[in-house]
Amino acid sequence: MNDATNIMVWQAGLRYRDGSRELNHLVLSRSGDRDEIIKAAADLGSPRGWQLDSIGPLVTAPAPCTDPRLIAMVKGASAVMLTTDLRPMIKVSRIFVRGLDAQFGSYPKQDVPAELAEQVFGTPGRSCYALLDGAKIDHLPQMLAGSLLDHDSLFQGKAQQELAEVAPYLVRLERESPFTRRVFTTPGALGGLWGRDGGVLLLSAAPLADIRRQLRKYTRIRDEGGKWFYYRFWEPRVFRASALQYDVATFRDFLGPIEAVLCPDRSEDAMLLFEAPPAETRT
């Protein structure tokens, strides 16, 4: 069956949880089932702090979507959300997950929680990089030096000399690495790093040097007054706040060769997966 015959266009009314703002967005879905659409719209809006007020077909008797731009936006997804002027939105998904415990007596030990295994190590040719905050993780440079994993600081020169202990570090995670396991293990289990708001995870097929080069463009930015300051996007609360305000083009430019970002949610039991639509869907 042609893709176009499977895609329906719905209009969703959303508001912030405090009721301060009403929003109307379009939801494209491969399902015509209202209950499935309601769930999809709620799932798409919830990570942004939106509640679903209402939803219905964009027209009284909805016809299958034939607009090639909209068909391209859905691709393999079950549903996507757009603004009413057809600008694609950054896709944000919530993954409910808990960190690993000490795994005493377990063999083989898990490197990563089962809920994240597909994202972290499930795509051939794609790597998972941890971007970690030295200001939140004591002795991070020493830990990384002993990990034998490929890593580097985002700072260099004088900044790295003066701020090495609190700098952001990029490390390529590998299976069966004690350090990888530590990233996904709770703090109560022998110094685990999970749940400490110590960084974000980046998914990319690019080598570490390319990821570092891309991210270094944003370590320092200017405000409207021309003053330089450090943009701490490696800190989860800063990344969440920034990414949810980006339009797709800005987010795509920021990511460069990075395909997606896994960022801790405010809850210790969830991660947010941020993805931009493919480049060909940008308007």
260-275 pLDDT, tens digit per residue, is 999 998 766 889 899 8
- pLDDT band for 212, please (50, 70, 90 cuts): very high
Between 156 and 280, the higher pLDDT residue:
156
Between 83 and 170, the higher pLDDT residue:
170
| Long-range contacts, 152-155 (Cβ 8 Å, 24+) | 152/208, 152/209, 152/212, 154/212, 154/215, 154/216, 154/219, 154/234, 155/219
Nearest C-alpha neighbor of 244 from the set 44, 5, 100: 44
Query: In the predicted model, is pLDDT for residue 100 greater than 60?
Result: yes
Which residues are CB-contacts of 164 (< 8 A; sequence separation ≥ 6)? 134, 141, 153, 155
- DSSP code, position 100: B
Mean pLDDT for 98-127 is 92
Domains of the chain, residue spans: 3-89, 94-281
Query: In the predicted model, is pLDDT for residue 194 greater than 90?
Result: yes
What pTM was estimated for this model as a whole? 0.73
Q: Which CATH class is domain 3-89?
A: alpha beta
Q: Is the dihedral of CA 80, 84, 86, 90 positive or negative?
A: negative
Give the pLDDT confidence score for residue 61 in this predicted structure.
Answer: 44
- pLDDT band for 92, please (50, 70, 90 cuts): confident
Which residues are CB-contacts of 156 (< 8 A; sequence separation ≥ 6)? 216
